[in-house]
Amino acid sequence: MPLWDEYKNSIWMLPGYMDGIIRAGGLPIILPLCGSEEVFSQALGMCDGFLLTGGQDVSPALYGEEKRYNFITTYPLRDKLETIVLDRAIELDLPLLGICRGLQFMNAALGGTLYQDIPSEFGTAISHRNAPPKSHASHDILLEPGTPLSYLLQEKRIAVNSTHHQGIKRLSPILKCMARAFDGLTEAAYLPLKKFIWGVQWHPELPDLYCNDLNEKIFETFVTYARLGRNKY
Ligand code: MN
């Protein structure tokens, strides 16, 4: 999914998302962020997997709340179209990787709730919004043993970057936590019923100094599942 520039009224894309997919052997395309669900759904039909990028805050309406702060910026069209993406990924068991907002969106769409603003609503000593450069590691996370992320990375604790002001409050009843920050905040989750529906709160497309290879593994796994799906049909 493309990002949305509310000042230029234009879609845009950070190269890291595309590069991550290309390095893993996949072919990234940017979906049309348009009002026609029919056109959008047709474009989805060309895809073997979906990456939900970062971006504006998820509309609180999605998890049954009113917007509590004026600084929250939403883009309801994205919420609407990403609901179609998530439905399709679940229905056809296609791989989906949610990054930052992508994880938050998955959680809200699947029945969870969000902190609308971490500094205002969640007391923590950890800075989840690191100063530039954004790619540098900001805080550590603990991987939950026995989850696919811990199998994949073969680590107990890794350093991640962190550029989010929202976060998961109540985890969706059908998602399972794969990693937490030391303040308890969920930093990765997955849908155990499906092959690869994962979300991470950090930005693997901006590999930091410490866990570059680990982030590449996430892209590789995502693309491998997309390729497996393609070979089947
Ligand atoms: Mn964080």
**From 47, 100, 164, 211, the catalytic residue:** 100
191 falls in which pLDDT band (50, 70, 90)? very high
Residues making up the chain, counted from first to last: 233
Residue 31 CA: distances (Å) to CA of 34, 82, 220, 226: 9, 11, 21, 16
Q: What local confidence, expressed as pLDDT, does residue 231 receive?
A: 67
Q: What is the pLDDT of residues 71-101, one digit of tens each?
A: 999 999 999 999 999 999 999 999 999 999 9
Q: Is the pLDDT of residue 172 over 80?
A: yes
Pairing of strands 167-168, 186-190: unpaired
- Global pTM? 0.96
> Measured in angstroms, how far is the CA atom of residue 193 from the centroid of ligand 1?
25
Let me know: does 132 contact 50? Beta carbons within 8 Å: no
DSSP string, 22-37: HHTT----PPP--S-H
Q: What local confidence, expressed as pLDDT, does residue 209 receive?
A: 59
Q: Is the pLDDT of residue 233 over 60?
A: no
Residue 71 CA: distances (Å) to CA of 68, 120, 166, 169: 9, 12, 12, 19
Q: What is the pLDDT of residues 25-49, one digit of tens each?
A: 999 999 999 889 999 999 999 999 9
Let me know: does 48 contact 94? Beta carbons within 8 Å: yes
Class of residue 135 by CB neighbours under 10 A (exposed 0-12, middle 13-18, buried 19+): middle
> Measured in angstroms, how far is the CA atom of residue 137 from the centroid of ligand 1?
10
**From 128, 139, 164, 203, the catalytic residue:** 203
Q: What local confidence, expressed as pLDDT, does residue 208 receive?
A: 65
Q: What is the pLDDT of residues 93-124, one digit of tens each?
A: 999 999 999 999 999 999 999 999 999 999 99
Let me know: does 102 contact 204? Beta carbons within 8 Å: no
Q: What is the pLDDT of residues 193-229, one digit of tens each?
A: 999 999 999 999 987 655 678 999 999 999 999 999 8
Q: Residue 172 and residue 170: Cα distance in Å, rounded?
A: 6
Query: What average pLDDT score do residues 58-75 get?
Result: 97
Query: Average pLDDT of the chain?
Result: 94
> Measured in angstroms, how far is the CA atom of residue 38 from the centroid of ligand 1?
36
- Among the residues of 93-185, which ranges form H helices? 101-109, 118-121, 148-153
